[in-house]
Amino acid sequence: MLSTVLSEIFKKLPHEKVHAHCDGPCGVYDPASARIAAEAVLSMTKKLIALVPPQGNNSSELATYNNTFSRFVAIKEEQAQQTKKELLILWTDYFKPEHLATFPDLHDTFWKAAKLCSACKVNIDQGKAEELMQAVEKIHKMFWQSKGRNDSWITAS
C-alpha cells in the first residue's frame, strides 16, 4: 500500500525538530480524533447498506425504517464533518512550513482526504469510506513521523 511505502521512506529521513506554536496553543494534537470519526462514518455506511426496507405497506414498519434511515444519514453526515474538521486542524495548526520539505505532498494529502469526507456525505459508498480510513491512516503516520514517534494504527472497532 502506498501509505506503508511512504511511511517506510519517512522513517529513514532525519527527524527535524519543529517547535510547536499552535493555534490554542495547547500543543496537544492527536490524529486519533479524526480516526474515531472516520470509523463512525464507515460503520454508519455499512449499517445503511445493510438496512432492509420493509415489504408491504405496514405503516408502523415503514416509520421505523424511515426513523432509522434518517438518523443514520444524519450521524454519517455529522461524523464525516467531524473527520474533516479534525483533519483540517492538523493541516492549518499543527503542520508548519518546515514540514513541507519532508512531506512535499502535504497539501494534496489533506485536500484529497477532505474531499473524501464530502464524498462520504453525498453517497452511501463503502469504498469511499474505506478510502477515507486509508487517508486518515496515512496522515496518522505522517503526523507521528514528524514527531519522531512511531505509534501503531489501532482502531476502536
Residues 62-101 within binding reach of its own copies (CB under 8 A): 62-64, 66-71, 73-75, 77, 79, 84, 88, 91-93
What is the maximal distance between C-alpha atoms in the chain? 66
Computed from CA positions of residues 17, 23, 29, 35, in that sequence, does the dihedral angle turn out positive or negative?
A: negative
H-run or E-run covering 154 = none
Q: Which amino acid is at 69?
A: F
Least distance (Å) from its own copies to the CB of residue 74? Answer: 7
Whether the Cβ atoms of residue 83 and residue 38 lie closer than 8 Å to each other: yes
Q: Single out the residue of 60, 61, 59 nearest to residue 51, CA to CA.
A: 61
| Residue in this structure with the C-alpha cell 512531506, named with its chain if needed | 103
Least distance (Å) from its own copies to the CB of residue 52? Answer: 7
Q: Does the protein bind its own copies through residue 26 (CB under 8 A)?
A: yes
Task: Give dist(CA 34, CA 88) in Å, integer.
Answer: 10
Q: Which amino acid is at 25?
A: P
Binding-residue total with its own copies (CB under 8 A): 58
Whether the Cβ atoms of residue 115 and residue 87 lie closer than 8 Å to each other: no
Least distance (Å) from its own copies to the CB of residue 30? Answer: 4
Binding mask 107-126 toward its own copies (x if CB under 8 A, else -) reads xx--x--xx-xx--xxxx--
Decide whether 2 or 26 has the Cβ nearer to its own copies: 26
Can you tell me which of 9, 13, 49, 101 binds its own copies, judged by CB under 8 A? 49
Residues at the contact surface with its own copies, assessed by CB under 8 A? 22-30, 32-33, 36, 39-40, 43-44, 47-49, 51-53, 57, 59, 62-64, 66-71, 73-75, 77, 79, 84, 88, 91-93, 107-108, 111, 114-115, 117-118, 121-124, 151, 154, 156-157
